[in-house]
Amino acid sequence: MGSCFVVRLIPLWLCICAVSESRSESVNVGVVLGFDSWVGRVANTCISMALHDFYMDHPNYFTRLSLYIRDSDLDVVGAASAALDLMKNMEVQAILGPQTSAEAKFLADLANKSHVPILSFSATSPFSSTSTPYFVRATLNDSAQAKPIASLLEAYKWRQAVAIYEDTEYGASFIPYLSDAVLDVGSRIQQRTVLPSSASDEFIKEELYKLMTMQTRVFIVHMSSPLASRLFQMAQMIDMMSEDYAWIITDGLVSLLNSMDRSTIDSMQGVLGVTGYIEKSERLDNFTARWKRNHREVYPNEIELPDLNVFALRAYDATWTLALAVEKSGTRALNYWQASAIKLTGNSTELSNLGISLAGPRLLKAILKTQFQGLTGHIRFINGELQATTFQIINIVGKGTREIGFWSPEFGLSRTLNKQTLQREKGYTAAMADLRAVIWPGESTSVPKGWVFPTNGAKLKIGVPVKSGFKEFVKVERDPGNNKTKVTGFSIDVFTAVVEALPYALPYEFVPFEDGEGRSAGTYNELVYQVYLGTYDAVVGDVTINANRSKYVDFTPPYTESGISLLVPLKKESGSKALAFLKPLTWELWFLITVFFFIIPSVVWVLEHGINTAFRRPWKEQLGNVLYFSFSMLVFAHRDHITSNLSRFILITWLFLLLILSSSYTANLSSILTVEQLKPTVTDVNTLLKNGECVGHQNGSFVKGSLMNLGFPESRLKAYCTADEYAEALFNGSVGAIVGSTPIIKVFLSYYHDKFTMVGLTFRTGGFGFVGSLSFSRGQGFYDFGMVLPKNSLLLSDISEAILNVTEGDKMTSLERALYGYHSSPSTASRGLGLDCFWVLFLIIGMTCIGAIFIRFSICNWNKNHNGVSDTAEPRKCLWRRFKDVAVGFSKRDHSSVLPTRERSAREIEIGGDESTPPRSSSASEDDASAIALPTPMNYTDGGNALDQGRGALGS
């Protein structure tokens, strides 16, 4: 059959020979294809066209590839026989092909022994390149598409998937890479379904029915196109290509979609596919048009012309690669070295006469170094593998496919390949928003959630703990009339609210964890372990999340506040109250107030010194007046007359601060003196440990083990069940404190709120979720109540999202109000008011004082500069001398500022009175002049005489 195809290719070979120069040397190259397959026939045409195009572009090359084509019948034995024939009889220097991965794996071992390089353009199954150095993969390795497929699971938040693959080398070798990639994104391959290549339709249908009974609805298909065609047709027949299902096919199937018939494509509507991206170009379009003409010439009996597939394009590029390498390496038509014949066994076989290619190592090295721009993109090899970094995500819709996005190692999923835009807008992401909208199976536009309840409709078995105390969280009751179980409590109410918040119905039933007599069947650890064993589908109750339990089950987010605290009794605060008047304020605040009692009068003195005689007396007298002035403002108005508006503003601000301080002081002092002061007996666990006191804990929790890890001996740990037992133990002093979760302690305090208190957090936790008991320990991560689910449960993401919606809404507030109630807490020791309550007021008055002094000095400097002395006499006086002059002038009496209004009135009286009255002497003393400021009423009807009388009185 192979000779028939050789005859058909004679016209093309004649063209090649015509172009070749007479001095060129022919190099034998073998081609192993399956001519009964569509891929083999298309690749055959592309290889011939590649040689024609290559030597048309490189007419001066000294080498020419001479093709020897063999048919493998798509069989490993057939491929091996063809390769042996090419090596022994034709002594080929390289082989293009074979098609399948099983054939390639066998021929790779044969190539290692004969040193004949093999370039495969369609064998995608991954196997070690280090053990088969003479096998060069001129197509994408299947392992490269594992990460793009895993990114789809991450983008659509699918936690589990089922792998359906063919029981061949091609199918099985890809699954380990897929499993690892899926695990890296937080998902997993839940089930592996293997189908033989020759599986009957009944067998395929039976396997699909098994998958229908599972929860998972995401399927990854990796198999040859003939088997995949029958799989999808059977899936459509039993209604598995409908809404809620998601199907993903790998690169091998996407590349062969064009070869599938219309009925198969119709059965694959809504399927997603991942394939290597080949950029469109003018060169590719021209080649496609030429290929159609040549293919009809070579295969004139084919009624329907198949579309060009990616394997044919890779065959074209592989031929160019080999032609370039042969030319660059200088490979010639050398005979094999027969002296080192390969002897695999002691028996004589045809392999015993197989020699070693002398040109093989040099040719292999040249192939691996070859780089050029081919039809499928940039061609280069690393470790014998063709490198490709970009994948295309397609959606099968109608008669063909539509592009919904791309995947690259640098940016993850994206809608475009514009690198400038991607570098500016995003890093690596794998989200649903990075892809275009998808038409899913059943023509649905809603993203499948990836799982459904089993078709048998069984209810979820929700395990609940049976408790003897603190039944506010979970309470199990049995109706003696109908023997039905009723489960209530805070945890149950939260779970019910969460189920109602789900976008779908969740059938469930509560199953108490009890023995035959209605008592608890074990500890909380044992209850959680029942989920791992499969006895329960989940557990709801006051079960704490911790690291050890998380090894076996998954937990939802916590639904209560976090914390492990101490429950301790309150005692009256003892001690003398002689210094109780100091307690309303802290020592820091007392000190700052005292400092400001000196600062304020000092600032007032600075402002009044130059304009008010009351502030110009001897320094000892002024110091006493300043201090008296400051402290007297607390109880009565001061006697000194303030003349500056700046001083008045500062005093108003200071008095406002004193008003607030005195009011706060009075209120806090009243509370200290009249209300009974209580304080906790213990404040931390270390105190209990040092004092050797006993500590209580909830019975059945693993707080006991955690306390022992902290150093408490087992003899000092006591277990209690109910709130009454807690109270009795604390009343009679059996334990110094009880260690428990914050929610449970708050429930206890709702009954005994006036005798006990909760002391701080002993350890920070993550809050209560739907499973867990109370615990804390060093070196471990502990959280509070959460719902327990099996590992990698499909319900986890939906339940977790619903819990967050409930806890952030008003529903949780009402549930907590019903659980804890509202009770006034007993008064504990009052804390003194500190600087944190009044620092803003002190800051305001401090800035006011600084601003007033600055304004006062600025006015004095302005007055001095406008006297016509300073600036004209010494224009270059230094800054320090200027400041000193201003300070000297500031300390002297400012006549222009002393009661200008009254002095101006007195002068008006002098001018407007009797003309015979002499004007006031300029030699009058400053003390006499200052007396004008006295607010004594005067009779100005007598003109100058009245003024003289006033002056005489002042003089006496």
Question: Among 325, 351, 375, where does a domain finish?
Answer: 375
The pLDDT confidence band at residue 350, using thresholds 50, 70 and 90, is: low
- 118 and 189 both lie in a single domain: no
- Residues 606-614 have a mean pLDDT of 74
549 in a domain, yes or no?
no
The owner of tokens 């060129």 is: 24
Per-residue model confidence as pLDDT tens digits over 679-712: 666 767 778 888 888 888 887 676 777 788 788 8
The pLDDT confidence band at residue 575, using thresholds 50, 70 and 90, is: low
| pLDDT attached to residue 351 | 63
Task: Return the higher-pLDDT residue of 11 and 502.
Answer: 502
| pLDDT attached to residue 347 | 44
- 8 and 135 both lie in a single domain: yes
- 131 and 198 both lie in a single domain: no
Per-residue model confidence as pLDDT tens digits over 903-936: 444 443 343 333 333 444 333 333 333 333 333 3
Determine phi and psi for 709, rounding to 5 degrees.
Answer: -65, -25
DSSP string, 585-596: B-HHHHHHHHHH
Residues β-bridged to residue 475? 488
Per-residue model confidence as pLDDT tens digits over 256-307: 998 888 999 999 999 999 999 998 899 999 999 998 888 788 778 776 776 7
- 34 and 92 both lie in a single domain: yes
Task: Return the higher-pLDDT residue of 825 and 775.
Answer: 825
The pLDDT confidence band at residue 675, using thresholds 50, 70 and 90, is: low
Q: At what angle do helices 944-955 and 900-912 cross, to 10 degrees?
A: 130
- 611 and 590 both lie in a single domain: yes
* Best mean pLDDT range from 138-147, 685-694, 795-804, 813-822: 138-147
264 in a domain, yes or no?
yes
Q: What is the DSSP letter of 455?
A: T
- 366 and 348 both lie in a single domain: yes
Q: Residue 239 pLDDT more than 80?
A: yes
| pLDDT attached to residue 21 | 46
- 87 and 130 both lie in a single domain: yes
Per-residue model confidence as pLDDT tens digits over 358-394: 889 999 999 999 999 999 999 999 989 988 779 999 9
Long-range contacts of 339-343 (CB under 8 A, 24+ apart): 342/113, 342/114
Structure tokens at 574: 């003892």
Question: Among 340, 375, 410, where does a domain finish?
Answer: 375
| pLDDT attached to residue 903 | 43
Mean pLDDT value across the chain: 78
- 266 and 395 both lie in a single domain: yes
79 in a domain, yes or no?
yes
CA torsion 265-267-269-275 (nearest 10°) is: -50
- Mean pLDDT is lowest, of 65-74, 127-136, 250-259, 881-890, for 881-890
- 318 and 244 both lie in a single domain: no
The pLDDT confidence band at residue 858, using thresholds 50, 70 and 90, is: confident
Angle subtended at Cα 655 by Cα 653 and Cα 661, rounded to the nearest 5 degrees: 110
- Residues 521-527 have a mean pLDDT of 86
| pLDDT attached to residue 720 | 86
| pLDDT attached to residue 625 | 67
The pLDDT confidence band at residue 880, using thresholds 50, 70 and 90, is: low
Q: Which domain holds residue 655?
A: 580-676+833-857
- Mean pLDDT is lowest, of 414-423, 566-575, 766-775, for 766-775
The model carries a pTM of 0.63
- 935 and 838 both lie in a single domain: no
Residue 391 in contact with residue 407, Cβ under 8 Å? yes
Helix (H) or strand (E) holding 725: helix 723-731
CA distance 801 to 788: 15
Q: What is the DSSP letter of 334?
A: P
Q: Taking the mean position of all CA atoms in its chain, how far away is CA 545?
A: 21
485 in a domain, yes or no?
no
Q: Residue 472 pLDDT more than 60?
A: yes
Q: What is the DSSP letter of 931?
A: G
Per-residue model confidence as pLDDT tens digits over 82-129: 999 999 888 899 999 899 988 998 899 899 989 999 999 999 988 766
List the one residue out of 214, 248, 258, 201 whose CA is nearest residue 400: 258
| pLDDT attached to residue 909 | 37
CA distance 153 to 340: 53
CA-to-CA dists, residue 612 to 95, 536, 609, 735, 850, angstroms: 115, 92, 6, 72, 20
395 in a domain, yes or no?
yes
pLDDT over 70 percentage in the chain = 76
906 in a domain, yes or no?
yes
| pLDDT attached to residue 327 | 93
| pLDDT attached to residue 394 | 96
**Based on the structure, what is the number of domains in the chain?**
4
Q: What is the DSSP letter of 377?
A: E
Residue 758 in contact with residue 745, Cβ under 8 Å? yes
- 78 and 129 both lie in a single domain: yes
Long-range contacts of 5-8 (CB under 8 A, 24+ apart): 5/35, 5/44, 5/69, 5/71, 5/298, 6/69, 8/298, 8/299
Structure tokens at 182: 């899926």
| pLDDT attached to residue 932 | 33
Q: Residue 6 pLDDT more than 60?
A: no
CA distance 367 to 321: 7
The pLDDT confidence band at residue 731, using thresholds 50, 70 and 90, is: confident
For the chain, the straight-line distance linking the first and the last C-alpha, in angstroms and rounded, comes to 149
CA-to-CA dists, residue 768 to 491, 527, 555, angstroms: 9, 17, 10
| pLDDT attached to residue 546 | 74
Task: Return the higher-pLDDT residue of 740 and 165.
Answer: 165
Per-residue model confidence as pLDDT tens digits over 410-431: 899 999 887 777 776 777 889 9
AA identity, residue 555: F
pLDDT over 90 percentage in the chain = 31
- 66 and 111 both lie in a single domain: yes
Per-residue model confidence as pLDDT tens digits over 139-148: 999 999 999 9
299 in a domain, yes or no?
no
Q: Residue 586 pLDDT more than 60?
A: yes
Burial (0-12, 13-18, 19+ Cβ within 10 Å), 486: exposed
The pLDDT confidence band at residue 242, using thresholds 50, 70 and 90, is: very high
AA identity, residue 586: T
Q: What is the DSSP letter of 133?
A: T
Structure tokens at 299: 């295969």
Determine phi and psi for 553, rounding to 5 degrees.
Answer: -140, 170
769 in a domain, yes or no?
no
The pLDDT confidence band at residue 20, using thresholds 50, 70 and 90, is: very low
Residue 555 in contact with residue 787, Cβ under 8 Å? yes
- Residues 611-626 have a mean pLDDT of 70
Give the β-pairing of 737-741 and 717-720.
Answer: unpaired
CATH number at residue 340: 3.40.50.2300
- Mean pLDDT is lowest, of 167-181, 403-417, 568-582, 607-621, for 568-582
Residue 99 in contact with residue 36, Cβ under 8 Å? no
| pLDDT attached to residue 306 | 67
